Amino acid sequence: MDLVKPMIEHVVYPLMERRRGNRIRPYLRELLASETLPPDELETLQRRRLEALLDVCAREVPAYRSLGAEGARPLSRFADIPPLTRAALRADPDAFLAASARPETLIPGTSGSTTEDAPARFYLDRRTVEHYEAARWRGLSWWGVTPGSRSVMVWGAPVEWERSKQAAYRRREKWLKNRVMIPAHDLSKAALPGHIALLDRYRPEYLYGYASALYALAELMRQTGLRPKRPPRIVLSTSEMLFDFQRTLISEVFGCPVVNEYGAKDAGILAYECPEGRMHITCENALLEVLNPRTLQPLPPGETGVLAVTDLHNVSMPRLRYLLGDMASLPAGHCGCGRTLPLLGALEGRLVDILVARDGRMVHGNILVRLSRAHGAVERFQIVQHTPELATLRLVPAEGARAGDTDAFVREARALLPGTRVAVELVSDIPPSASGKRRYAIREFDLPGAPQ
C-alpha cells in the first residue's frame, strides 16, 4: 500500500497551506470549476486578468511604462506591444521587475539551456508557480491522477549536480512529490533491468519525461522484451514535440495511454491533452497568440506560427507577448469532451529546429524525422545547419543496415535543402544534451528576415 500518497494529500499539502500560505489546492478547485464555463465567460475572465496585469505594467514596470502614457487604457494598446524575445529579456532583465516586487521572495530561474540558446534570467513569484502546479494537477485529474500519486520521472536535469545535492533532490522528490527518477542519460540495455525492477517495486501511477527520453526507454523495452509487471495509468510526455511513432510505441510497451503536456519553465503549464486527444489551453493562467515568425504579426486561426505567451498571474516580473520559440497553431472549434477551454493545435517543434533552404523556404526538422521513419535504415540522426550553404547530417545506421541502406534517406534530406551542401557523418551514437533532450535539427544562424 502506498502510504506516501495519503501523507502528501492529507498532511504535507495542508501543512504547506497553513504554514506557508500555499494555495495550490484552492487554485486547482478554481480551475476545475472554470474548465466548463461558457466560452464568453472564459474570455471575460481572461480579459479582466489581462487588464489587471497591464495596469500593473503601466504603473510599475519600467519596460512597459509607456503603456500608461496619454491616459489611454493599457488594454487598448496590448496588440501594439512588441513581442518580447529572450534576447531582449536577457539584455535588461531588471527592466521587467515590478517596483513593488520583493526580489528576495522571488523564485529565480533561467530559460533556454546553455547549449541551445543563451539563457535569460527571470523571476517568478510563489503565487505564479502555484498556479502552474494547479494547472498540471487539473490536466492530470482528467486522467484519474490526483496530487500525491506515485510517479517515475525519466529526467536528465540533475545529472550535473554533485552527489550530495542529487541525494537531497531525490529525497525532496520522494517525500514531497512521491516521485523517483530514472536518469535520462542512463538508458542502455545494461541499465534496463534495474529500471524495470524500480518500476515493479515502486508501481508508479504515471511516468513523466521528455518524449525523446520516454521513447528511448520504450525502444529498449521493445528490443529486449522486458516490461513492468503492472502498467501505469498514463505515460506523460512533456516539453518536446511528441511524434505519432513515439506515442504508438510508448503506449504499446507500457500498455496505457500517452498524454501530452505542453509547458515551459518560464511560462508554466500552458496546455494539456484531454481523453479525446485534443490539447486544451490553460487560458485562465495564460494568453497564447500565434505570430508569423518573420513579421511577428498575429496569424489567423489554424495557421502555424511561433507562440507568444502572456502569463496572466506573474505580476512581479511581467513578460508580455513573450516568444517561447515553439511553433503551433490555434484551431477554431470545440472539443467533444465537454471542456470549453480553447484548443492548441499540434506542436510543430521549435523555431530553432527549422532549417532554411537557400531560396528562403523554411523546412521543419519534423519532416526529416518522418522521412527517417519511412526509410527504417536510420536508427537516429541529427542535422546541424551551420549556414544557409552548409549543413552536417549525422547518422546512426539501424542494427543490421548494410552500407548504402541509408543512401535514400540522405538523398531525400539533401533534396529538401537544395543549394545547401549537406556533409554526412556516420556515427555510433548521438548522445542527448545535458537536459536529456534529443534534438533532430539545429539551425546555428538567425532566421533570415526575422527580428532578432
Residues of this chain that interact with Zn ion (CB under 5 A) are 274, 276, 278, 335, 337, 339
Which three cell numbers, joined as nine digits, stand for 181? 527518477
Contact 283, 269 (CB under 8 A): no
Query: Least CB distance from residue 254 to Zn ion, whole Å?
Result: 22
Query: Least CB distance from residue 338 to Zn ion, whole Å?
Result: 7
Q: Output the DSSP codes for 160-182.
A: GS-HHHHHHHHHHHHHHH-EEEE
Query: Least CB distance from residue 337 to Zn ion, whole Å?
Result: 3
| Residue 375: how many other CB atoms lie within 10 Å | 17
In this structure, what DSSP letter does residue 377 have? S
Closer CB to Zn ion, 337 or 384, in the complex: 337
In this structure, what DSSP letter does residue 12 have? I
Spatial CB neighbours of 298, under 8 Å, sequence gap ≥ 6: 79, 289, 290, 291, 292
Closer CB to Zn ion, 335 or 430, in the complex: 335
Query: Least CB distance from residue 420 to Zn ion, whole Å?
Result: 41
Torsion of CA 213, 157, 129, 293, to 10 degrees: -60
First to last CA, the chain: 54
Q: Could you give the count of Cα atoms lying within 13 Å of 21 in the half-sphere of its Cβ?
A: 4
Closer CB to Zn ion, 336 or 360, in the complex: 336
Q: How far apart are the C-alpha atoms of 330 and 234, rounded to whole Å?
A: 26
Closer CB to Zn ion, 217 or 274, in the complex: 274
Closer CB to Zn ion, 136 or 380, in the complex: 136
Query: Least CB distance from residue 29 to Zn ion, whole Å?
Result: 20
Query: Least CB distance from residue 302 to Zn ion, whole Å?
Result: 18
Q: Give the long-range contacts of residues 426-431, CB within 8 A, separation 24 or more.
A: 426/395, 426/396, 426/397, 427/394, 427/395, 427/396, 428/396, 429/380, 429/396, 430/380, 430/381, 430/382, 430/394, 430/396, 431/185
Q: How far apart are the C-alpha atoms of 4 and 8, rounded to whole Å?
A: 6
Query: Least CB distance from residue 274 to Zn ion, whole Å?
Result: 3
Query: Least CB distance from residue 277 to Zn ion, whole Å?
Result: 8
Query: Least CB distance from residue 335 to Zn ion, whole Å?
Result: 3
Closer CB to Zn ion, 135 or 199, in the complex: 135
Closer CB to Zn ion, 183 or 263, in the complex: 263
Contact 345, 327 (CB under 8 A): no
Question: For 250-263, b where at least 16 C-beta lie within 10 A, e where not — what string?
Answer: bbebbebbbbbbbb
Spatial CB neighbours of 369, under 8 Å, sequence gap ≥ 6: 243, 440
Which three cell numbers, joined as nine digits, stand for 125? 513569484
Residue type, 182: I
Closer CB to Zn ion, 276 or 389, in the complex: 276
Closer CB to Zn ion, 21 or 336, in the complex: 336
Query: Least CB distance from residue 37 to Zn ion, whole Å?
Result: 14
Closer CB to Zn ion, 333 or 400, in the complex: 333
| Residue 303: how many other CB atoms lie within 10 Å | 13
Q: Side by side, which strands form the sheet with 206-210?
A: 179-183, 151-155, 206-210, 234-238, 258-264, 268-273, 279-281, 343-344
